[in-house]
Chains A and B, each alone.
Chain A
């Protein structure tokens, strides 16, 4: 139980989201990631939060703050594709104000099919997030060898 005097500070730093998949979520404002250009097809949504649900790991969720019904399953692609290392354009590095490579986290959006084997990752349009300033972007890679719907590979 929080002490009364701690409450105002605590509340102002949190945002409450009412979601379909995860019930009511409380997100710390400082963890909100801004996508100035939205995601492709969802350009009007600019703010997202990464939600970890233990039963879903290693998959995580990118939940819209503005429309919490919208959530994308995401995955760190290097868990399955350790050699995934797309070249990032200067423009994107500038846009996200990325100074060091280690500040960037990369995620790929996951889609499910009818069978477990039909789980695919979008390696062609990864999501870059500068964890330092919480700025994100879905980029479209120019490399031809990355697939839009890459099947996961079982080790």
Chain B
């Protein structure tokens, strides 16, 4: 890991197209400004972990439980126009 010290308002560049600027420092929080090409996706690191957790949780859902939930929610969807979409797609 490369460790650099920067002052408020200073930046680092990564390659020729990515620039990270230290915008604000408040206690334990820092605000970063990132300039990068559109095809480079910038995410908070923990988002991937959280999606993994959600996927893990979803993979344990049983058909039995989903049927119960579906019954409840189908009533909700029925009142909206979405019901027509459901039936034309799957039931006809």
List residues of chain A with CB under 8 Å of any chain B CB. 20-22, 39-42, 52-59, 61, 70-73, 76, 78-80, 82, 89-91, 109-112, 116, 119, 122, 124-125, 138, 140, 142, 148-149, 152, 154-155
CA distance A143 to B56 in the complex (A): 23
Interface contact A55-B54, CB-CB below 8 Å: no
Which of B50, B51, B57, B70 is A58 in contact with, Cβ under 8 Å? B70
B55 within 8 A of A: yes
Out of A56, A109, A116, which one reaches B54, CB within 8 Å?
A109
Chain B contact surface mostly: helix
Judging by beta carbons under 8 Å apart, are B61 and A70 in contact?
A: no
| Chain B residues within 8 Å of A, Cβ to Cβ | 38-39, 41-43, 47-48, 50-59, 61-63, 65-74, 76-77, 79-80, 82, 85-86, 90-91
Measured CB to CB, the nearest residue on chain B to A60 is B90
Contacts of B43 in A (CB 8 A): 140, 142
Q: Which residue of A lies closest to B71 (CB)?
A: A55
Given contacts A40-B51, A71-B59, contact A89 B80 (CB under 8 A): no
Q: How far is the CA of A27 from the CA of B66 in the complex (A)?
A: 21
Interface centre among A20, A90, A148 (most CB of B within 10 A): A148
User: Are B61 and A79 in contact (CB-based, < 8 A)?
Assistant: no
Q: Closest Cβ of chain B: how far from A13's Cβ, in Å?
A: 22
Residues of A within 8 A of B70 (CB): 55-59
Q: With A142-B41, A149-B54, A154-B76 as given contacts, are A21 and B69 in contact (CB-CB < 8 Å)?
A: no
| A152 vs B72: C-alpha distance when bound (angstroms) | 11
If A70-B59, A152-B73 are given as contacts, then 13 extra A-B residue pairs at C-beta distance below 8 Å, sorted by A number, are A41-B55, A55-B70, A58-B86, A59-B70, A73-B58, A79-B77, A79-B85, A89-B39, A89-B41, A111-B58, A122-B51, A124-B47, A138-B55
